[in-house]
């Protein structure tokens, strides 16, 4: 079974590198970076403890929020999904992304204490 | 009255116009959208008239809602009502005089003496900040309005905003006609007015506006899938969290909606974007309020949202993989994924139950085990009468609207169906939650009425032009997007039917229309009557009406509070039952022991014990708490039934909960089990402090030549213990109709008088020795 899982994953990776456009790959790289940052923060919290709990939460939610917003951006600029988002152009998707990040970071700065 | 009639006529005009404008555009120019698009037609077209009409109707709805809430201000004066608003007013006053940060960090040492209260961390600041902001802006423009007037008129102004957001929400769900009807309904419906009259400066006044607006933005973000609308929804949700504890309703209804959409296989990328953005940004926003703190990630009420968030991420990932892989490959990965997920869930459940995070209370747990919660009248179950009283015909037509929504289902209508079902359940549990039912009832009834009006009014033009109906259906499908497709199909069936029965048509239509209009007019009359009679009493000022209609105003409460304010020391401490704490702090500006916040049950039990014990035991408690004055409410002279003797048994029960050895509830009843204040009453009751304070000097008072002196009008009994004397208290003030009685607690005597009889000195018998008596004294 593990053999088939590995083969599935390798096939998926191969298809991913060939089929997806460069624009989406950039977004995916950004998402991967955010994921690493979030994992690091969580690991640090496990090791050192949660003392300024609001600071930990602020940082961690900032990572999760940035990841989610990146995923939303990727969904909205993917040309395959155009049917779902008739009123949203690429520029509008990016502008929404910026607005959401402004709000998110303002709140995180307030929460970090 | 004039406003209500205009509003109902306006409703009548809106629907045929909405129906007519669609047809009007379909005939000459087949291009262009329905009533809303209309750019090619120019300003003289129906679209312009439609917007003007909508604007006028919404403005009139705001005006009607505002005026309908002004009964108390016109009859009495612009004053803060009831109990809770007094605390809100005092906090807002503190905010405007001392600034925002002082308010957020305020530690109030003048309540809950000697404990104090951390106001900044135990209050929802939205109401105070809103009032403070409006006051600041108005004063900045040199319109010097006193903060009390801002507070009194805040709720009526926000009721207009609620009408507008209900209009927007219903327009997204159904169409513009239904939206206008819903706006008019919610402007005057008694269920909402009860908590938002002028003077009722309470959280619900702004919270219902925030609720409707958040739901509108949520429906918009589900429909468009745009992050912009989701962020708007988050900001509105943040305002709701700051305004009311009922935000828990939103954070459970929205995940439920997403979950039901997943179950109904209506998952789409728009749902994913809308909910993920809303959850994560909303989470961090909601934790900014000090009172909410870390609850969103700790308590069980918020776990549903987190669970659905995780589920949605997993579902979206699986959908993404499904698109990329073949079925077999997908199945292997799926199996692996499900086992991983099951493991994670299992570990999480174990962790949570071990750390005792998720304690799920049933709806009756709190009522049985915590007497304070059980004693509040607003927490009692709702009766059928209150449903009809508060909602009139809306409660009868709202199931019809629900049926229409379910029949023509799409993503948004699933939401409103869930909203309706959960609101009905909660409204049945507690009277207070009728307020959350009211908006959805207004919306669904508006949908029902709008469908009926369209059916019975819009057909006139269709019958005259049967060939046009095909193009009109096409036009509908092209024009207004998702909303009109199902409604168009309904019209097609109807028109075929109409062709068959031509003779009966106009009669039935006019009869039905007249009936509907009559129902709406009776609704308007009922709403105004209920508002005027039931929900417009300030309860600080009482009024009674004589046989000839003249009005007697009983201003005892304010008289007593102002006496306290002017005749006692600034640092004096007043003990009373917790109902009056906020009013004493607000109007008399004195330190109180317990107030309506009821956060410390033991402290309240101590006060209850003092009220129910005899004078000496009570005096010890009062000395230990540094009490200077005791305030009670007594209704025996005028027959006021909300006085402290009627609440006395609750004091006993709460005290018994904490001090079961000293206070027993059965002691206060007669051997037959009755609660009587006359001679047959239990001796423990007749000697307790509350009884003595209520009936001091009442035995000499004869109200009426038909009744004996000392006749209690509220209990309809002649009191048992007429000869009351106090050792440690003295009467300080009794108001004009004996409603409020204030007693001063005397300090300890300088010298205690001795209890036993004085020792009497008996004069000693004069005893002289016989030797000295008879003989001479020898010279020495």
Cβ-based contacts of A46 with chain B (< 8 Å): none
Cβ-based contacts of B285 with chain A (< 8 Å): 107
pLDDT bucket at B372, cuts 50 / 70 / 90: low
CB contact under 8 A, A71 and B285: no
Residue B90: Cβ within 10 Å count: 21
Helix, strand, coil percentages, rounded to 5, for chain B: 60, 5, 35
What is the predicted pLDDT for the residue at B366? Answer: 52
pLDDT bucket at A18, cuts 50 / 70 / 90: confident
Give the pLDDT confidence of B538-593 residue by residue, as tens digits. Answer: 888 888 888 888 888 899 999 999 999 999 999 999 999 999 999 999 999 999 99
Cα–Cα dist B54/B14, whole Å: 8
Of residues B253, B566, B654, the one with CA closest to residue B440: B253
Cα–Cα dist B572/B576, whole Å: 13
The answer to whether the beta carbons of residues B89 and B187 sit under 8 Å apart is: no
Q: Which residues of chain B from 230 to 249 reach within 8 Å of chain A, CB to CB?
A: 230-231, 234-235
Write the CB contacts of B248 (distance below 8 Å, at least 6 apart in sequence).
B301, B302
Q: Which residues of chain B from 321 to 380 reach within 8 Å of chain A, CB to CB?
A: 321, 324-325, 329, 332-333, 336
What is the predicted pLDDT for the residue at B249? Answer: 92
Check pLDDT > 80 for residue B72.
Answer: yes
CB contact under 8 A, B276 and A15: no
Average pLDDT over residues A46-58: 90
CB contact under 8 A, B270 and A97: no
Determine the Cα angle at B343 with ends B339 and B349, to 5°. Answer: 145
Cβ-based contacts of A8 with chain B (< 8 Å): 325, 329, 332-333
* Substitution target from A8, A34, A59 for chain B, most B beta carbons within 10 A: A8
A53 and B CB contact within 8 Å = yes
What is the predicted pLDDT for the residue at A101? Answer: 96
Average pLDDT over residues B290-301: 88
pLDDT bucket at B475, cuts 50 / 70 / 90: very low
Cβ-based contacts of B329 with chain A (< 8 Å): 4, 8, 11-12
What is the predicted pLDDT for the residue at B28? Answer: 41
3-state secondary structure B482-549: CCHHHHHHHHHHHHHHHHHCCCCHHHHHHHHHHHHHHHHHHHHHHHHHHHHHCCCCCCCCEEEECCCC
The structure tokens 């917790």 sit at: B578
* Substitution target from B231, B284, B316, B319 for chain A, most A beta carbons within 10 A: B284
Cα–Cα dist B202/B91, whole Å: 12
What is the predicted pLDDT for the residue at B609? Answer: 93
Label residue B125 exposed, middle or buried (CB < 10 Å: 0-12, 13-18, 19+): buried
What is the predicted pLDDT for the residue at B455? Answer: 86
Cβ-based contacts of B280 with chain A (< 8 Å): 61, 64-65, 68
What ranges in B355-393 are assigned the alpha helix state H? Answer: 365-369, 371-375, 384-391
CB contact under 8 A, B329 and A11: yes
Q: What is the mean pLDDT of chain A?
A: 90
Write the CB contacts of B25 (distance below 8 Å, at least 6 apart in sequence).
B32, B33, B34, B35, B38, B41, B45, B46, B475
Cα–Cα dist B667/B656, whole Å: 11
Give B587's Cβ-side CA count (13 Å radius).
24
What ranges in chain A are assigned the alpha helix state H? Answer: 2-19, 22-48, 53-77, 90-112
The answer to whether the beta carbons of residues B113 and B591 sit under 8 Å apart is: yes
The answer to whether the beta carbons of residues B192 and B208 sit under 8 Å apart is: yes
Give the pLDDT confidence of B148-168 residue by residue, as tens digits. Answer: 999 999 999 999 999 999 999
C-alpha B615: how far from its chain's center?
39
Q: CA distances (Å), B144 to each of A59, B201, B534, B762, in order?
A: 44, 20, 33, 83
Q: What is the mean pLDDT of chain B?
A: 83
What is the predicted pLDDT for the residue at B360? Answer: 41
pLDDT bucket at A58, cuts 50 / 70 / 90: very high
Phi and psi at A20, nearest 5°, equal: -80, 145
% pLDDT > 90, chain B: 51
Cβ-based contacts of B297 with chain A (< 8 Å): 57
Q: Which residues of chain A from 78 to 107 reach within 8 Å of chain B, CB to CB?
A: 81, 84-85, 87-88, 92-93, 95-97, 99-100, 103-104, 107
Q: CA distances (Å), B115 to each of B35, B84, B581, B719, in order?
A: 63, 20, 14, 38
pLDDT bucket at B772, cuts 50 / 70 / 90: low
Check pLDDT > 90 for residue B530.
Answer: yes
% pLDDT > 70, chain B: 83
Cα–Cα dist B605/B660, whole Å: 11
pLDDT bucket at B773, cuts 50 / 70 / 90: low
The pTM of this model reads: 0.83
Cα–Cα dist A101/A109, whole Å: 12
pLDDT bucket at B374, cuts 50 / 70 / 90: low
What is the predicted pLDDT for the residue at B375? Answer: 63
Q: Which of A54, A84, A103 lies nearest to residue B231, judging by beta carbons?
A: A103
Residue B370: Cβ within 10 Å count: 14
Comparing B776 with B719, which gets the higher pLDDT?
A: B719
For the ranges B350-364, B417-431, B495-509, B618-632, which has the lowest average pLDDT?
A: B350-364
Q: Which residues of chain B from 261 to 320 reach within 8 Å of chain A, CB to CB?
A: 268-270, 272-273, 276-277, 280-281, 283-285, 287-288, 294, 297
The answer to whether the beta carbons of residues B665 and B679 sit under 8 Å apart is: no
The answer to whether the beta carbons of residues B400 and B516 sit under 8 Å apart is: no
Phi and psi at B686, nearest 5°, equal: -70, -15
Comparing B500 with B273, which gets the higher pLDDT?
A: B273
What is the value of ipTM here, to two decimals? 0.95
Determine the Cα angle at B440 with ends B435 and B445, to 5°. Answer: 120
Which DSSP string corresponds to B72-126? HHHHS-S---SSHHHHHHHHHHHHHHH-HHHHHT-EETTSTTTT-EETTTSS-TH
CB contact under 8 A, A8 and B325: yes
Average pLDDT over residues B258-270: 91
* Measured torsion, CA atoms of residues A101, A104, A107, A110, in degrees rounded to the nearest 10: -60
Q: Is B691 left (phi over 0), alpha (psi -120 to 50) or beta?
A: alpha
What is the predicted pLDDT for the residue at B759? Answer: 77
Give the pLDDT confidence of A71-110 residue by residue, as tens digits. Answer: 999 999 988 888 888 888 889 999 999 999 999 999 999 9
What is the predicted pLDDT for the residue at B701? Answer: 83
A45 and B CB contact within 8 Å = no
What is the predicted pLDDT for the residue at B98? Answer: 94
Average pLDDT over residues B119-130: 93
% pLDDT > 70, chain A: 98
* Substitution target from A42, A68, A90 for chain B, most B beta carbons within 10 A: A68
Positive/negative CA dihedral, B85, B90, B93, B98:
negative
What is the predicted pLDDT for the residue at B429? Answer: 86
Of residues B495, B488, B490, the one with CA closest to residue B472: B488
Comparing B746 with B363, which gets the higher pLDDT?
A: B746
Check pLDDT > 90 for residue B482.
Answer: no
Give the pLDDT confidence of B195-246 residue by residue, as tens digits. Answer: 999 999 999 989 999 999 999 999 999 999 899 999 999 999 999 999 999 8
The answer to whether the beta carbons of residues B95 and B132 sit under 8 Å apart is: yes
From edge to edge, which strands make up the β-sheet containing B629-633?
A: B591-592, B573-575, B629-633, B740-745, B729-734
C-alpha B135: how far from its chain's center?
24
Check pLDDT > 70 for residue B118.
Answer: yes
CB contact under 8 A, B226 and A8: no
Q: For residue A29, what are its two tokens? A: 């790289």
Comparing B83 with B703, which gets the higher pLDDT?
A: B83
Check pLDDT > 80 for residue B18.
Answer: no
C-alpha B405: how far from its chain's center?
28
pLDDT bucket at B479, cuts 50 / 70 / 90: very low
Of residues B213, B261, B255, B216, the one with CA closest to residue B409: B261
CB contact under 8 A, B269 and A75: yes
């Amino acid at each position: 079974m593990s053999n088939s899982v590995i083969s599935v994953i390798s096939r998926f990776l191969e298809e991913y590198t060939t089929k997806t456009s460069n624009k989406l790959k950039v977004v995916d790289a950004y998402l991967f970076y955010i994921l690493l940052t979030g994992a690091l923060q969580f690991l640090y919290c496990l090791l050192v403890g949660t003392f300024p709990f609001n600071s930990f939460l602020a940082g961690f939610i900032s990572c999760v929020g940035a990841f989610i917003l990146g995923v939303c951006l990727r969904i909205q600029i993917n040309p395959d999904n155009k049917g779902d988002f008739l009123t949203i152009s690429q520029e509008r998707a990016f502008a929404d992304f910026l607005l959401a990040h402004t709000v998110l970071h303002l709140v995180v700065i307030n929460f970090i204490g | 009255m004039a406003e209500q009639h205009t509003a109902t006529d306006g409703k009548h005009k809106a629907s045929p116009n909405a129906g007519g404008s669609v047809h009007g555009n379909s005939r000459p120019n087949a291009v262009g959208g329905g009533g809303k698009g209309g750019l090619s037609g120019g300003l003289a077209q129906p679209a312009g008239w439609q917007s003007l009409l909508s604007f006028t109707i919404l403005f009139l709805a705001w005006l009607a809602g505002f005026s309908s809430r002004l009964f108390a201000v016109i009859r009495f004066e612009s004053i803060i009502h009831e109990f809770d608003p007094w605390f809100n007013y005092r906090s807002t006053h503190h905010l405007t005089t001392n600034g925002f940060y002082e308010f957020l960090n305020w530690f109030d040492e003048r309540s809950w003496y000697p404990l104090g209260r951390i106001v900044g961390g135990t209050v929802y600041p939205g109401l105070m900040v809103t009032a403070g902001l409006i006051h600041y802006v108005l004063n900045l423009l040199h319109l010097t309005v006193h903060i009390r007037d801002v507070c009194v008129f805040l709720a009526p102004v926000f009721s207009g905003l609620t009408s507008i957001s209900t209009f927007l929400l219903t327009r997204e769900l159904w169409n513009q006609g239904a939206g206008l009807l819903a706006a008019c309904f919610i402007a005057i419906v008694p269920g909402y007015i009860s908590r938002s009259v002028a003077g009722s400066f309470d959280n619900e006044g702004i919270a219902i506006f925030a609720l409707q607006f958040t739901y509108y933005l949520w429906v918009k973000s589900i429909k468009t899938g745009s992050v912009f609308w989701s962020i708007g929804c988050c900001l509105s949700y943040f305002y709701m969290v700051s305004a009311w504890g009922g935000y828990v309703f939103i954070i459970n209804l929205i995940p439920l909606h997403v979950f039901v959409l997943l179950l109904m296989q209506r998952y789409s990328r728009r749902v994913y974007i809308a909910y993920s953005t809303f959850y994560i940004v909303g989470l961090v926003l909601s934790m900014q309020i000090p009172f909410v703190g870390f609850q969103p990630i700790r308590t069980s009420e918020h776990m549903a949202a987190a669970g659905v968030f995780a589920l949605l991420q997993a579902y979206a990932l699986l959908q993404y993989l499904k698109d990329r892989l073949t079925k077999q490959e997908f199945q292997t990965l799926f199996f692996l994924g499900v086992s991983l997920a099951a493991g994670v869930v299992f570990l999480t459940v174990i962790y949570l139950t071990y750390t005792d995070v998720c304690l799920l209370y049933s709806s009756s747990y709190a009522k049985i085990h915590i007497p304070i919660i059980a004693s509040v009248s607003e927490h009692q179950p709702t009766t059928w009468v209150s449903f009809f009283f508060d909602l009139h015909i809306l409660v009868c037509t709202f199931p019809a609207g629900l049926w229409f929504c379910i029949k023509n289902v799409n993503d948004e209508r699933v939401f409103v169906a869930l909203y309706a079902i959960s609101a009905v359940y909660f409204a049945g549990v507690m009277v207070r939650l009728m307020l959350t039912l009211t908006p959805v009832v207004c919306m669904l009834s508006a949908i029902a009425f709008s469908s009926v009006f369209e059916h019975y009014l819009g057909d006139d033009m269709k019958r005259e032009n049967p060939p046009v109906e095909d193009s009109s259906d096409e036009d509908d499908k092209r024009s207004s997007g998702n909303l009109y497709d199902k409604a168009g199909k309904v019209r097609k069936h109807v028109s075929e039917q109409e062709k068959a029965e031509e003779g009966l048509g106009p009669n039935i239509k006019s009869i039905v229309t007249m009936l509907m209009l009559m129902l709406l007019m009776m609704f308007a009359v009922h709403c105004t009557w209920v508002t005027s009679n039931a929900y417009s009493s300030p309860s600080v000022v009482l009024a009674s009406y004589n046989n000839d209609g003249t009005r007697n105003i009983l201003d005892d409460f304010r008289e007593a509070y102002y006496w306290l304010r002017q005749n006692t020391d600034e640092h004096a401490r007043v003990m009373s039952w917790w109902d009056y704490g906020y009013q004493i702090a607000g109007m008399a500006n004195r330190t109180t022991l317990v107030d309506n916040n009821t956060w410390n049950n033991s402290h309240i039990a101590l006060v209850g014990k003092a009220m129910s014990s005899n004078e000496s035991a009570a005096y010890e408690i009062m000395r230990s708490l540094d009490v200077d004055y005791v305030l009670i409410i007594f209704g025996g002279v005028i027959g006021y039934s909300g006085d402290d003797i009627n609440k006395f048994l609750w004091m006993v029960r709460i005290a018994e909960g904490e001090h079961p050895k000293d206070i027993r509830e059965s002691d206060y009843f007669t051997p037959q089990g009755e609660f009587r204040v006359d001679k047959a009453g239990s001796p423990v009751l007749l000697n307790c402090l509350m009884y003595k304070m209520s009936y001091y000097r009442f035995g000499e008072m004869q109200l009426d030549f038909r009744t004996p002196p000392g006749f209690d009008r509220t209990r309809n009994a002649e009191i048992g213990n007429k000869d009351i004397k106090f050792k440690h208290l003295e009467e300080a003030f009794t108001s004009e109709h004996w409603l409020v009685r204030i007693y001063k607690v005397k300090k300890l005597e300088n010298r205690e008088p001795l209890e036993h009889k004085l020792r009497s000195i008996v004069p000693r018998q004069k005893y002289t020795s016989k030797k000295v008596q008879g003989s001479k004294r020898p010279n020495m």
